[in-house]
Structure 1
Amino acid sequence: MASTVTSKSSRPGYGQLLRTRGAWTFLLPGFAARQPFAMLTISIVLLVQHTTGSYGAAGAVAAATGVSMALFAPYGGRLTDRYGQRTVLLPGVLVHSLSGVSLTMLALAHAPLWALFAAAVPTGASVPQVGPMVRARWGVKLQGSPLMTTAAAFESVTDELTFVFGPLLATALCTAVNPAAGLLSEAALTLVGGLLFAAQKSTQPPVADVTHARVEHASALRVPGVRVLVVTFLGIGSVFGGMQVSLAAFSDSIGKPGLNGVLYGVFAAGNMLSGVVCGAIAWKAAPQQRLVIGYAALTLTASGLWTAHSAVVLAGLGLLVGMCIAPALINGYTLVESLVPAQVRTEAFTWLTGAVALGQAAAVTVAGQLEDRLWDGAGFLVPMAGTVLALATLVSLRSWLSPSQGTTTATRGAAPRDPVAVGEM
């Protein structure tokens, strides 16, 4: 019989987290399965630009992929909660791999732009949501444990690692091997990694028995707190998208386009560093309070980006912005555990990841227009506007983040969850 979560120390840490029984059985294949996602956008941009000669067309096709992923991911998450991760993941990775190969072949055949869009939509819509699935497995393993914040931090750092190595691998393949090598490798890695992750049946969250438990499934978006977090994560996406475009434009404006990678690397390093630190601290403040404070710091630092007129100042501000993003992401994901029941947890996670992707796609478009039509650095106004609006929503509706607003709204008649044992190796 399962026993309640226990820990040997009141201070959570990564060592204790990674000694959780069965964790490595889904962590390793999960990392392999989510790595290709970080390769997708840059692989499409490099391939389509090579075949069309237009960065505009390449960006549009990549944006179509991102938007379709953001729109379809929550529905995939809802199906996952209802039917199980394995049931949804197996056909999903097959569709994604076939769509990615089709997009590659169409690009190499110099197909018209509408055909590339037609292939980009299913490619994005079928992106496997492995990150939310891993977070849902942590939720089962660590139910009621203070290690949940550590797990959220660990997943944030893992996400950042994939977005450090993924673009580098995709760029190397596209430039040193073949322009199509990046997207084809992404499709192959998605297929192999997804199948390996789906094979780990013992750690996937249980599927509610609707016959006996009489669970009435409703969308996780009906939970007021989840809606607040979606707006919050849209603002985070605006930072990612605005930084990507504006840093590239700044580097070009000073005649050092190669500096873009360095500046964005400093931004990503700040994100990773703060993520590691957040997971190693035994916090006393509630995650709702930490989220508001951390998001205020993010808004303050992001609002100063447009004033930077030198690479050194911009690198310093970028580092601070990155350091403020990880706490916001970590506390947002941590709150999901208390806001929604297990039956809709994966869907809730996908709403948040989809919000980041949608905010990023919108910010890329708007920031690009501002850089073209206004002054150099005008694109940095996008992260400021996005975070200011999101912070206003977060502060005014922070009471919705109370756990009392959560689980009963999403499901009715659900049987109580049994505590899950967590062991040490």
Structure 2
Amino acid sequence: MATTVTPVTNRKPGYRDLLRTPGAWTFLLPGFLARQPFAMLTLGIVLLVEDTTGSFGTAGAVSAVTGVSMALFAPRSGRLADRFGQRAVLVPGVLLHAAAVGVLAALALSRAPLWALLLAAVPAGASVPQVGPMVRARWAHLLRGGPGSPDGSGPPGGPGGARLLSTAAAFESVTDELTFVIGPVLATALCTGVHPAAGLAAEAALTVVGGLLFAAQRRTAPPAHRRARGADGAPHASALSVPGVRVLIVAFLGIGAVFGGMQVSMAAFTDSIGQPGLNGVLYGIFAAGNMLAGLVFGALTWRSAPQRRLLAAYALLTLTTAPLWAVDVVPLLAVLGLLTGMGIAPSLITGFTLVERLVPAGVRTEAFTWMAGAVALGQAVAASAAGQLTDGFGASAGFTVPLAATALALVTVAALRGWLKPDGGQEGDGQTDGGKAGDGRPGDRRPGDGEGPRTG
């Protein structure tokens, strides 16, 4: 019996191949616009509330409530998007968020009591549009076989779209970090140069414009799944029914703690040495390390299985945070900040890659929002804890928060790493793609996964 052999290239598809995916630019550009508010909201609140109350403590409390509210409500938003479609959730969501932010700004300008500000912060945070997870869900939908892919193997124009999933995860990690570089700068400039409420006004406007433009791109949106089912045919009540998702939530809480702890601790350190202006420089170096590592990580292909990569990346992140508390000079802090930033991207990228493999398509957006919510919650809790330690024990004490959080998360990931196996069976060597968990489809051969690491 004759056998047809299909030649396979060993070259891993790179960013150019990813961005040539049909339909990608139609959601990437409005998606980037709609993501800016996520990075502007908490800082805009801090600057406005501090201006009207004169208290950073009050401003921090209102901002923290917003972050915690977003973290708690984001997964529900993602689940609704999976069930009813992204457009059905985004359109009313962006309008509600703009209204909630408007109420919060009006209360702050009228010097309302703290309880009123805290109450208004809840809907402002709960209604934050989860555009980042929705973009990731669109990538997964297109690369797994979306519109125009007749055989369901990947995007038109090239076979094996699933091989681009890790590249897409890297691209989104870099995009997120770029958002957190641009957003805070824009919010600060508007609040200090135009009006204390201008940052929140811009945040609300970008939410509405970007969110509606993104929602209008129906062709690239994943279909609604009213009842997502696993391989055994049983319905998945939630992405949390997948054990690996719960492990990754703990891992992402630790990553969020690095962001929150570094923000507060760097600000306290530069203030303690009488050079507060260096805070922006130091945090910029930290963010640059994250973006650089994300770009490089996405251009490599790996022989090891993703759960092993996550464990190694997290161990590196924990190692880089360990000496931060003992630093007393700016140049050394800059170097360690750069290395810490470089440890974040591989952990985030591998974590999101695992999420896509572990969960069925019907709960994919919800799973991504659990990850985003975990980062936000870890950031809020760590910022508060670092602030308390700084007040009580000195400027460097806050740096122990990222170390403690990542160490605890590393122990969890190491102990429960078996739950991160996409096939639920034996740990692979990275040569197969486990397929979409719960869709009953066997893994596809991924030639690029057995060829690295090397540049694409």
Band the TM-score falls in, shorter-chain normalisation:
over 0.9
Distance 1:107 1:304, change over 3 A: same
Q: Which residue number corresponds to residue 195 of structure 2?
A: 178
Corresponding pairs, count: 410
Secondary structure at the aligned position of 1:285 is classed as coil
Aligned-partner Cα distance in 2 for 1:133–1:175? 32
1:361 aligns with one of 376, 380, 392: 380
2:313 aligns with one of 294, 311, 329: 294
| Structure 2 residue identity aligned to 1:70 | A
**Greater relative contact order structure (CA < 8 Å, 6+ sep):** 1
Aligned-partner Cα distance in 1 for 2:375–2:89? 22
Aligned-partner Cα distance in 2 for 1:57–1:178? 19
The answer to whether the Cα contact below 8 Å between 1:148 and 1:334 also exists between their aligned partners in 2 is yes
Deviation, structure 1 residue 375: 2.5
Secondary structure at the aligned position of 2:162 is classed as coil
Aligned-partner Cα distance in 2 for 1:25–1:215? 35
Asked whether 1:340 is paired with 2:341, we answer: no
Aligned-partner Cα distance in 2 for 1:211–1:129? 20
Q: Which residue number corresponds to residue 152 of structure 2?
A: none
Q: Which residue number corresponds to residue 328 of structure 2?
A: 309
Aligned-partner Cα distance in 2 for 1:71–1:243? 23
Distance 1:124 1:7, change over 3 A: farther
Secondary structure at the aligned position of 2:354 is classed as helix
Aligned-partner Cα distance in 1 for 2:130–2:224? 17
The correspondence of residues 205-354 of structure 1 with structure 2, limited to 5 A, is 205-208=222-225, 210=227, 216-354=235-373
| Structure 2 residue identity aligned to 1:189 | L
Q: Write the deviation string for residues 229-260 of structure 1: whole angstroms up to 9, x where unpaired.
A: 00000011111111011101100110001011
The answer to whether the Cα contact below 8 Å between 1:12 and 1:281 also exists between their aligned partners in 2 is no
Deviation, structure 1 residue 218: 1.1
Deviation, structure 1 residue 404: 2.7
Aligned-partner Cα distance in 2 for 1:168–1:152? 25
Asked whether 1:117 is paired with 2:136, we answer: no
Distance 1:275 1:8, change over 3 A: same
The correspondence of residues 82-97 of structure 1 with structure 2, limited to 5 A, is 82-97=83-98
State percent identity of aligned pairs.
Answer: 67
Asked whether 1:39 is paired with 2:58, we answer: no
The answer to whether the Cα contact below 8 Å between 2:229 and 2:360 also exists between their aligned partners in 1 is no
Q: Which residue number corresponds to residue 176 of structure 2?
A: 159
Q: Which residue number corresponds to residue 82 of structure 2?
A: 81
Aligned-partner Cα distance in 1 for 2:75–2:369? 5
Q: Write the deviation string for residues 125-160 of structure 1: whole angstroms up to 9, x where unpaired.
A: 000000000000000111261110000000000001
The answer to whether the Cα contact below 8 Å between 1:45 and 1:62 also exists between their aligned partners in 2 is yes
| Structure 1 residue identity aligned to 2:143 | L
Distance 1:296 1:340, change over 3 A: same
Q: Which residue number corresponds to residue 3 of structure 1?
A: none
Q: Which residue number corresponds to residue 149 of structure 1?
A: 166
Q: Which residue number corresponds to residue 48 of structure 1?
A: 49
The answer to whether the Cα contact below 8 Å between 2:228 and 2:362 also exists between their aligned partners in 1 is no
Deviation, structure 1 residue 405: 3.7
Secondary structure at the aligned position of 2:224 is classed as coil
Distance 1:251 1:7, change over 3 A: farther
Aligned-partner Cα distance in 1 for 2:250–2:228? 35
Q: Which residue number corresponds to residue 99 of structure 2?
A: 98
Aligned-partner Cα distance in 1 for 2:229–2:315? 45
Asked whether 1:136 is paired with 2:137, we answer: yes
Q: Write the deviation string for residues 323-352 of structure 1: whole angstroms up to 9, x where unpaired.
A: 000000000000011100100000000011
Gaps of 5+ in 2: 1-6, 145-160, 426-433, 445-456
The correspondence of residues 15-30 of structure 1 with structure 2, limited to 5 A, is 15-30=16-31
The answer to whether the Cα contact below 8 Å between 1:32 and 1:193 also exists between their aligned partners in 2 is yes
Aligned-partner Cα distance in 1 for 2:80–2:226? 14
| Structure 1 residue identity aligned to 2:110 | A
| Structure 2 residue identity aligned to 1:35 | Q
Q: Write the deviation string for residues 185-232 of structure 1: whole angstroms up to 9, x where unpaired.
A: 100110110000000001100113559998724110111100000000
Aligned-partner Cα distance in 1 for 2:81–2:240? 15
| Structure 2 residue identity aligned to 1:343 | G
| Structure 2 residue identity aligned to 1:356 | V
2:389 aligns with one of 355, 361, 370: 370
Q: Write the deviation string for residues 380-401 of structure 1: whole angstroms up to 9, x where unpaired.
A: 0000100000000000100100
TM-score (ref. length: structure 2): 0.87
The answer to whether the Cα contact below 8 Å between 1:36 and 1:190 also exists between their aligned partners in 2 is yes
The answer to whether the Cα contact below 8 Å between 2:82 and 2:226 also exists between their aligned partners in 1 is no
Asked whether 1:200 is paired with 2:201, we answer: no
Deviation, structure 1 residue 11: 1.4
Aligned-partner Cα distance in 1 for 2:180–2:44? 13
Q: Which residue number corresponds to residue 419 of structure 2?
A: 400
Asked whether 1:388 is paired with 2:416, we answer: no
| Structure 1 residue identity aligned to 2:16 | G
Normalized per residue, which structure has more helix? 1
Q: Write the deviation string for residues 24-78 of structure 1: whole angstroms up to 9, x where unpaired.
A: 0110110011111111111000000000000000000000000000000011111
The answer to whether the Cα contact below 8 Å between 1:45 and 1:55 also exists between their aligned partners in 2 is yes
Deviation, structure 1 residue 416: 6.7
Aligned-partner Cα distance in 2 for 1:73–1:376? 33
Distance 1:169 1:219, change over 3 A: same
Aligned-partner Cα distance in 2 for 1:169–1:9? 43
Aligned-partner Cα distance in 1 for 2:394–2:84? 51
Aligned-partner Cα distance in 2 for 1:87–1:76? 11
| Structure 2 residue identity aligned to 1:264 | Y
Secondary structure at the aligned position of 1:403 is classed as coil
1:168 aligns with one of 185, 210, 220: 185
Q: Which residue number corresponds to residue 422 of structure 1?
A: none
Secondary structure at the aligned position of 2:423 is classed as helix
